[in-house]
A and B are shown apart, each in its own frame.
Chain A
Amino acid sequence: MRHLLALLVVLGLLTGCSQTPGPQKTDAPPPRDQANTLVVGKPDDPKGLDPADVSDAESSQITANIFDTLLRFKSGSADVEPSLATEWKASDDGKTWTLKLRQGVKFHDGTPFNAQAVVDNFERQYVPNHPLRYPGATFSYWSDVWGGKVSKIEAVGEDTLVFHLKEPVAPFLSNLAMPFFGIASPTALKKAGRDAFKQPVGTGPFKFVEWVPKDHLTLAANPDYWDGKPPLDKVTFKPIPESTNRQLQLERGAVQAITNVQLENVEDLRQNPAVKLVEQPGLNLGYLSFNTQKKPLDDKRVRQALCMAVNRQQIADELYHGLARVADSPIPPGIWGRVDLPYEYNPEKAKKLLAEAGLADGVKIEISYMSVPRTYFPEPKVIAEVLQAQLAEVGIEADLKAREWSSYLDALGQGEHQVGLSGWIADNGDPDNFLYTLFDGANVDTKRGGSNVCMFANARLDKLLTDAQKLTDQDQRTKLYEQAQHILHDEAPCLPMVYVSQVGACHPDLDGFEMHPTGTMQLRKAHWKTK
């Protein structure tokens, strides 16, 4: 009997633990070493450390601290400011850009930074058989961002760089600020080829120290950084895939900052005085793509009806724990050129529109959703189910179809869907990156799958978007993009749903731990408060 009692106590303890809703709150922040160091818990290791050859946030969050770009994004926005380039000027036809480079900057290995270094870095990305190109490298961002539009990049003396373009590239400056165009030491590149990125050498605020894959990656402050030595002496990144474990380690001080906080844990963390929540509106868009070439969505009235039948505010409030904003434009806030053109939630009007389209007796559609969470849709299945319920109220019967992520983009790009959950994360913070990519007729490709998953082709819109690409004046471009957004609002090839914030958390004494809207992480200003 005594033993049975002991058994019951053990079982009781086990089940008792399960009732603890997440971690216990502690009032005091965890103790920390007085050393000027920081350990950051991230969901995964970087895929690689060649800034030009990685495309995932885990990697670029780290490379952005080792490598500088010619221009950089201002903190918290998609506007650019000088970095390795101090001044720039475009020719009148927009085809030649001249950049003055910062003087006296040195790479971490002592190599002086100059115009030839930039030329070497960029040429290896687009000149076939370039000696600094290594097998297996894809440099996908280069072709994605520049296409074949760069004809030559020229070093004029030590400090002047001239870009010759085949045609004007409107987002020229924003492109150069993308972390993928970080400048690596040409000496290291020449010496080690791909292995150069086992010991990456840049000009950035932090120097690479070591990387034990899947265990930790360490950076140390660059004492000679041109923008001032960063306050932290050492930063270590630790991959901790499981989000609860990551959070527990933060609360106990095993790490002092974490990224990718799960939305459902946000409320918990917000009320916990032992940690500080770091929210940053992200430059992303979650939207419902309507296949404008498939019945019944080829009818504008049906698309408009769908837009009015979805209660986006409810979705933002209830499924995103207050971390999403209802999207009133395909361009997220923080990027210039956007106009707020809200669709009202009006089920009655939606029904009327459906009746006008001859669908008064109801209609059946299929909603495709992805199998994995994305930044903009953290719970695709739940969102699809909520949509199903909301649409049912206006007589639209929605079937749900889950599709595996690795084939999802293909299926939607080829137009296999009727309605799909879709999204986009900004590359360079230029409106072109959203409007042209997602809605220009040139990006419909039913054979191979294009990025215009709405299969939307509208000659007027296409002209506006391609005209805007050829201008360098921001005011003129803004006017064209405003017109384009009015067309999109009226034609409704998609319903913009939400812009979602990125959430991280850190020790309350840590200041300047910044997540940038473009998805990178800047640690050059992070510092411990002095007590």
Chain B
Amino acid sequence: MKRFLARRLLELIPVVVGITLLTFMLIHLIPGDPVKVMLGERASPDQVDALRKQLGLDRSLPEQYVQYCVHAAQGDLGQSILRHTPVTEELARAFPATIELTLGALLIATVFGIPLGMAAAVKRGSWWDALCTTISLGGISMPVFWLGLMLVLLFPYYLGMFYFSGRTSLEFPHPTGFYTIDALLSGNPANLIDVLGHLVLPCATLSTIPLAMIARMTRSSMLEVLSQDYIRTARAKGLTESQVLWGHALPNALIPIVTAIGLQFGYLLGGAVMTETVFAFDGVGRLVVESVKLRDYPLVQGSVLAVALAVSLVNVLVDLLYGWLDPRVRYG
């Protein structure tokens, strides 16, 4: 187990190096120039040259890459070209927001998705099944942007519930950047209620696609398990239907579902741009998109690196979960 973990973590190194190289090449290969973006229409060529030199963008690409890696290895991801702030500072702000958003969305998706998928499998062909299929299809094809705006229109605008945008409307210190944790630390329940209230709509918006995926995965995995002999045995020995379902079927069906949840986690970490935009939620998705648009090289590099690391770690975690879920899985 320990060896497995060590091996998996070591394997991350080539992945990370590969990702930095790939990001570096891609962002430099696409046309565009951060200096031009910064200076805009009025830039004179002399100014452009001077600024490029100042930012070190006049050096050769391999030189820039090596320097980036040396600094990154020391924990220095450089400075945002446009904001002049350390990239780590930007990430420290955006990453906790994304994690909270993602975990909230996955929570909703799991809590609703698994029972929905189970019901569909158990009552295959019934209206439950039809509902599950409809919701899955709807969830996958729902334009997130539109859904977000509709929720804003329905709740804060018409019903006066929840919030239009942002992460909190109260003022309390943010030592960790995770507002839920900060609110708990502040000791004032009003803060926590406010922060959770701000999370509801964006998390609900973001949860549609994973909810659909999880429900579908649960349905098919459960169908497969339910046709197994041991389920027939369990029923034959007189267990109640709920004991059979929750005690025998679900644990055996969980592995593909956990895989699906893990994959969705990775997808949500970097892919929540639309939700983040609608709800003015300052997360990594928007950070990546904005920095790509502005060709803010260090910020693109840093955020892609952070997302990649997080996704890889989640994958390791999912692998470990397999062993816990299914004792037959051996780590060697």
A→B interface (CB under 8 Å): 3-4, 7, 14, 17-18, 20, 23-24, 47-48, 53, 55, 136-138, 140, 143-144, 194, 212-216, 238-242, 244-245, 248-249, 251-252, 254, 372, 404-407, 409-410, 423-425, 427, 437, 443, 445, 447-451
Contact = CB atoms under 8 A, between A and B. Distances in A.
Contact of A48 (B49, B84, B131, B277): B84
B36 A409 contact: yes
User: Which of B39, B44, B54, B278: most chain A CB closer than 10 A?
Assistant: B44
Given A248-B157, A252-B156, A405-B37, A240 B47 contact: no
Given A240-B165, A242-B277, A406-B295, 15 more contacts: A17-B153, A18-B146, A23-B157, A143-B44, A216-B166, A240-B280, A244-B149, A248-B156, A254-B156, A254-B164, A407-B32, A410-B36, A448-B45, A448-B48, A451-B43
A245 to B, nearest CB: 6
Given A241-B280, A242-B278, A427 B153 contact: no
A20 B39 CA distance: 41
Contacts of A448: 45, 48-49
B150 A138 contact: no
Query: Which 10 pairs between the two chains have the least Cβ-Cβ distance?
Result: A406-B32, A214-B282, A448-B45, A407-B31, A136-B84, A407-B32, A249-B164, A240-B280, A242-B278, A445-B45
A213 B45 contact: no
Contacts of A254: 156, 164
B324 interface: no
Contact of A47 (B83, B150, B295): B83
A83 to B, nearest CB: 23
B150 A410 contact: no
Nearest to A442: B44
Nearest to B295: A406
A247 to B, nearest CB: 10
Contacts of A242: 149, 165, 277-280
Nearest to A138: B51
Nearest to A7: B131
Given A138-B54, A404-B31, A405-B37, A241 B43 contact: no
Contacts of A213: 93, 282
Interface of B: 30-34, 36-51, 54, 79, 82-84, 93-94, 127, 131, 134, 146, 149-150, 152-154, 156-158, 164-168, 174, 277-280, 282, 286, 293-295
Contacts of B31: 404, 406-407
A23 B153 contact: yes
Contacts of B293: 372, 405-406
Contact of A17 (B83, B154, B174, B280): B154
A48 B279 CA distance: 23
12 contacts: A136-B79, A138-B38, A138-B54, A140-B47, A143-B47, A214-B93, A241-B280, A245-B165, A252-B156, A406-B31, A410-B36, A450-B45
A245 B280 contact: yes
B36 A239 contact: no
Nearest to B49: A448
A410 B37 CA distance: 10
B38 to A, nearest CB: 7
B42 A437 contact: yes
A424 B37 contact: no
B164 A252 contact: yes
B164 A55 contact: no
A53 B131 CA distance: 57
Nearest to A212: B174
A423 B41 contact: yes
Nearest to A197: B84
Nearest to A45: B282
A431 to B, nearest CB: 15
Contacts of B37: 405-406
A183 to B, nearest CB: 21
B165 A404 contact: no
Nearest to A143: B47
A215 B294 contact: no
Contacts of A140: 38-39, 43, 47, 51
Q: Which of B34, B146, B166 has the most CB of A within 10 A?
A: B166
B32 A144 contact: no
A334 B63 CA distance: 49
Given A48-B84, A215-B282, A17 B32 contact: no
A238 B168 CA distance: 12
A406 B36 contact: yes
A449 B152 contact: no
A379 B127 CA distance: 47
Contacts of A427: 42
Contacts of B149: 242, 244-245
Nearest to A4: B127
B30 to A, nearest CB: 8
A252 B157 contact: yes
B41 to A, nearest CB: 6
Contacts of A194: 84
A410 B33 contact: yes
B165 A406 contact: no
A3 to B, nearest CB: 6
B54 A248 contact: no
